[in-house]
Amino acid sequence: MVTDQATRPAVTNGRISVKPGRVDRVPPQVQIEVHVIEDHPLYRLALCSVIDDAPQMHLGLAVASVEEFTCAQAVAARTMAAQPVARTPGPSTEGSQQTIAVLDLKLPGLSDAAAVSAVVRLGFRVLVLSAHSGQTQVLSAITAGAKGYLTKDAGAEEIRRAVREVAAGNSYVTPALGTFLVDARQRPGPAPVPLSERERQVLALLAAGERDQDIAVRLSISLRTVRSHLDRIREKTGRRRRPDLTRFAIEEGMAIEEGMVGQAWR
């Protein structure tokens, strides 16, 4: 069952406008639909209030897991097919960049980078809002396709600002966390490892948190072939553990710069 679905109306033109001096990058006539995926009931309620009270923002679904969110999207798709005029909580037909999901990382069921990747594949821009701010969590989430990353000590205004930036097609990461991305891109390393195109695809999906079986499905190859590719990647890179392979993919810019994860092989 979908929990905490908002019943309050969307923001109207009569609401108070943004403060003087602030530049909104989303056109004023556009409503940003924001879905919340957060398993802590009190924090979810507070976050919903932050979103629903903001000009230009409309609160969509508020659920406790990616599985609930996926189920809600399936129900919405069936409803839209049966009643085309009904409004659904999924991405808008006029551009999904105006519909985003604010996502916690530590969720029941799918979590961490796998949760990000799953929501991105549904067609949503993802803003991570997590209590965890370690380098591994930040880089893995960005690699998996997240467009923004905030920690839970962020205030209401910063959360709204990040939502607007992500909805406008930009990225938003707090300066302290942004240094992780700069370091990952600028860190000097050995000569490039000659990976094949297929090996790069497998590695990018692994870095996004996909399991071997998921990679096989995404690339329409056998599980044995996936593991064979991973064996060759380990031999070429000298990296054995999955976290080390993820870090290698980030250092090489496979997902951060090339946008491989969440866009290719659909």
pLDDT in tens, 199-220: 988 988 888 778 899 999 999 9
Predicted pLDDT of residue 4:
43
Domains observed in the chain? 32-183 (3.40.50.2300), 197-251 (1.10.10.10)
pLDDT more than 90, % of the chain? 34
Q: What is the pTM of this model?
A: 0.61
Q: Given a cut of 90, is residue 158 above it in pLDDT?
A: yes
- Res. 258 pLDDT band, cuts 50 70 90: very low
CA end-to-end span of the chain, whole Å?
28
Give yes or no for residue 261 having a pLDDT over 70.
Answer: no
DSSP strand pairing (148-151 vs 125-130): parallel
What pLDDT is recorded for position 41? 95
State residue 3's pLDDT score.
Answer: 40
Q: Are 184 and 256 in contact (CB under 8 A)?
A: yes
C-alpha 31/C-alpha 164 separation (Å) is 10
Comparing 38 with 246, which gets the higher pLDDT? 38
